[in-house]
A and B are shown apart, each in its own frame.
Chain A
Amino acid sequence: MASTSRGDSLPKVQCPNHPDAILVEDYRAGDMICPECGLVVGDRVIDVGSEWRTFTNEKATNDPSRVGDAQNPLLNGGDLSTMISKGTGAASFDEFGNSKYQNRRTMSSADRAMLNAFKEITTMSDRINLPRNIIDRTNNLFKQVYEQKSLKGRSNDAIASACLYIACRQEGVPRTFKEICAVSRISKKEIGRCFKLILKALETSVDLITTGDFMSRFCSNLGLPKQVQIAATYIARKAVELDLVPGRSPISVAAAAIYMASQASAEKKTQKEIGDIAGVADVTIRQSYRLIYPRAADLFPPDFKFDTPVDKLPQL
């Protein structure tokens, strides 16, 4: 009969015939089985699965699992403290209506700031509908920066916003600083400063932004059809290749390209509308448009259906 080697300091379970074999866990019976010979090595192993099956039921307001929320071991410092939750029922209130056992707030004070920041990151990301992978990446970045402590004096919200910006960049779907500003209470200047400091602290770098990164988002927000979006992408790329707009921010060039494409199509948008969506001033769009207008005929894709011909495009 196999027995667990309790004589050692660590109760290491292993098969007596195959000490090197990694034991397979059979959770239904609570056994540890050796895959080489099939010997049941350990038994009555505690089952860490859920206690009962829970179905999503609109009537059930509480999840009866006593095991609690899924742990977040990557991000917290192994949060093993005990929390007292808010009481249900009448007995949990003493006189005056205050709840007994009020002390449910003390939990891992070291990670409190980090949890706050994670909550803030989730809130910001929800506002612009960012997917879970970007949120996770942002959380990871924030954790790294927080543990390094090199940016300790800066506001956590600023660091969180900057981490969000970096995460979007790293995932290949950059958001402009103005878009991050729109969902954060921090100014663009401060986010920019934190951004540069974080890149230095984590010793990473990010790719340069290109005009094509923003086309799909801006065009969808403006309600432009797919053809116009393709045309605008082509125009912006060509304009940069031909170096018609040296030194201009890619956002401004993208906005001007969208303007040109939309004016040539049936869905005409004004500079003001595009400026509102892109976060660019309409005079800036005008400036960039003036630079690409002379070569307009070369910039359009060859298979584009013109609603307004190239020579009738507005000249500002």
Chain B
Amino acid sequence: MEQNNSLTPFPQGLASPPGAMTPVMPIFSPTMRYNTGLTPQPVQNTNSLSLLEEQQRQQQQQQQQQATPQLYHSQVSTTTALPGNTPVHTTPLTPMTPITPATPASESSGILPQLQNIVSTVNLGCKLDLKTIALRARNAEYNPKRFAAVIMRIREPRTTALIFSSGKMVCTGAKSEVQSRLAARKYARVVQKLGFPAKFLDFKIQNMVGSCDVKFPIRLEGLVLTHQQFSSYEPELFPGLIYRMIKPRIVLLIFVSGKVVLTGAKVRAEIYEAFENIYPILKGFRKTT
């Protein structure tokens, strides 16, 4: 498929169709330097736990996310790589010209928050016997008097899962959406190998945490005075200012050093949007000494 020079209309608002298991791709944001030329891959709505497929899908999506110019041309060949997954149509790759929306007068911050933690849940679809899981699986701990779930850990991606007897599972600690999904699949695979008819239903990312550094000290007292409906700054209770942004609904912890932690997002774009919203406000409260 050759690249044409005309700009392919980029589907905004890439929401996965319900029931599909593609992770939501980063919605177009001003911080993305080059567009990634992505359209959602047509994936069979499969609950199969084939890790090979999952890993290949993950690698491909990671490549596409990084979107370095060199990879663009090499990507032409990888779109058909999935085994047993005949794509209905090959995806045309858009040219490398960055499609930026009409940017407002203020420039973007140039800083990208890094994701630190993703919490996701998935339903394995069958009742589990936690005792056998704890006894037979490696790296599993189960203390029913303390907590009613098996706590299992894997090394790659470094995550922890809470597996409940109802079959529901919480996966925490991943650094990106695809890693969270891959890790959840690995846990489900472990459970499946122990003999339970595990499925992979309703994978959903519940919370995303990101952090970044604005690289200048901030006057928190000034911020709490002007934004007091949103901020809460109690140095006796916590050294950071807790800013509850309404739109998007994100909670930011802002520290004197200039470090900012953003949490409460369901998608990556909310974190980016929240940071873009707060950055000009923080610039206004920069410490001048």
Chain A residues proximal to chain B, CB less than 8 Å = 176-177, 192, 195-196, 199, 205, 208-209, 242-243, 246-251
Task: For the complex of A and B, list the 5 residue pairs with the smallest distance between their C-beta atoms, beginning with the closest.
Answer: A247-B256, A249-B235, A192-B237, A246-B256, A205-B228
Q: In the assembled complex, which residues on chain A have CB atoms less than 8 Å from the CB atom of B257?
A: 246-247
- Assess A176 versus B236: contact at CB under 8 Å? Given A208-B221, A246-B217, A246-B256: yes
Q: In the assembled complex, which residues on chain B have CB atoms less than 8 Å from the CB atom of A199?
A: 232
- Assess A243 versus B287: contact at CB under 8 Å? Given A192-B237, A251-B236: yes
Chain B residues proximal to chain A, CB less than 8 Å = 217, 221, 224-225, 228-229, 232-237, 239, 255-257, 287, 289
Q: In the assembled complex, which residues on chain A have CB atoms less than 8 Å from the CB atom of B221?
A: 208
Total contacts A-B at CB 8 Å: 36
Contacting residue for A208 out of B224, B287, B289, CB 8 A: B224
Closest B residue to A208 by beta carbon equals: B221
25 A-B pairs whose Cβ atoms sit less than 8 Å apart in the complex: A177-B236, A177-B237, A192-B234, A192-B236, A192-B237, A196-B232, A199-B232, A205-B228, A205-B229, A208-B221, A208-B224, A208-B233, A209-B236, A243-B287, A243-B289, A246-B256, A246-B287, A247-B255, A247-B256, A247-B257, A248-B235, A249-B235, A250-B235, A251-B235, A251-B236
A-B contact sample (7 more), CB < 8 A, given A205-B229, A249-B235: A176-B236, A192-B234, A192-B237, A199-B232, A209-B235, A242-B289, A249-B239
Q: In the assembled complex, which residues on chain B have CB atoms less than 8 Å from the CB atom of A192?
A: 234, 236-237
Q: In the assembled complex, which residues on chain A have CB atoms less than 8 Å from the CB atom of B217?
A: 246
The docked-state distance in angstroms from the alpha carbon of A250 to that of B228 is: 19
Q: In the assembled complex, which residues on chain A have CB atoms less than 8 Å from the CB atom of B229?
A: 205
The docked-state distance in angstroms from the alpha carbon of A200 to that of B220 is: 20
Whether B239 contacts A247 by the Cβ 8 Å rule is yes
Q: In the assembled complex, which residues on chain B have CB atoms less than 8 Å from the CB atom of A196?
A: 232, 234
Return B46 CB to nearest CB of chain A, in Å. 44
Return A229 CB to nearest CB of chain B, in Å. 22
Return B253 CB to nearest CB of chain A, in Å. 13
Q: In the assembled complex, which residues on chain B have CB atoms less than 8 Å from the CB atom of A247?
A: 239, 255-257
The docked-state distance in angstroms from the alpha carbon of A176 to that of B236 is: 8
Q: In the assembled complex, which residues on chain A have CB atoms less than 8 Å from the CB atom of B287?
A: 243, 246
Q: In the assembled complex, which residues on chain A have CB atoms less than 8 Å from the CB atom of B255?
A: 247
The docked-state distance in angstroms from the alpha carbon of A219 to that of B234 is: 23
Of the listed residues B233, B234, B256, B257, the one surrounded by the most CB atoms of chain A closer than 10 A to its CB is B234
Closest A residue to B220 by beta carbon equals: A247
Q: In the assembled complex, which residues on chain A have CB atoms less than 8 Å from the CB atom of B237?
A: 177, 192
Closest B residue to A210 by beta carbon equals: B221
Return B150 CB to nearest CB of chain A, in Å. 29
Q: In the assembled complex, which residues on chain B have CB atoms less than 8 Å from the CB atom of A242?
A: 289
Q: In the assembled complex, which residues on chain B have CB atoms less than 8 Å from the CB atom of A195?
A: 234
Q: In the assembled complex, which residues on chain B have CB atoms less than 8 Å from the CB atom of A250?
A: 235
Return B85 CB to nearest CB of chain A, in Å. 50
Whether A249 contacts B256 by the Cβ 8 Å rule is no
Closest A residue to B234 by beta carbon equals: A192
Return B201 CB to nearest CB of chain A, in Å. 34
Return A158 CB to nearest CB of chain B, in Å. 15
Closest B residue to A193 by beta carbon equals: B237
The docked-state distance in angstroms from the alpha carbon of A176 to that of B255 is: 22
Closest A residue to B221 by beta carbon equals: A208
Of the listed residues A242, A247, A248, the one surrounded by the most CB atoms of chain B closer than 10 A to its CB is A247
Closest A residue to B238 by beta carbon equals: A192
The docked-state distance in angstroms from the alpha carbon of A247 to that of B233 is: 11
Q: In the assembled complex, which residues on chain A have CB atoms less than 8 Å from the CB atom of B289?
A: 242-243
Return B255 CB to nearest CB of chain A, in Å. 7
The docked-state distance in angstroms from the alpha carbon of A21 to that of B287 is: 64
Return B211 CB to nearest CB of chain A, in Å. 17
The docked-state distance in angstroms from the alpha carbon of A205 to that of B221 is: 14
Closest A residue to B255 by beta carbon equals: A247
The docked-state distance in angstroms from the alpha carbon of A209 to that of B235 is: 9
Q: In the assembled complex, which residues on chain B have CB atoms less than 8 Å from the CB atom of A209?
A: 235-236
Closest B residue to A176 by beta carbon equals: B236
Return B26 CB to nearest CB of chain A, in Å. 33
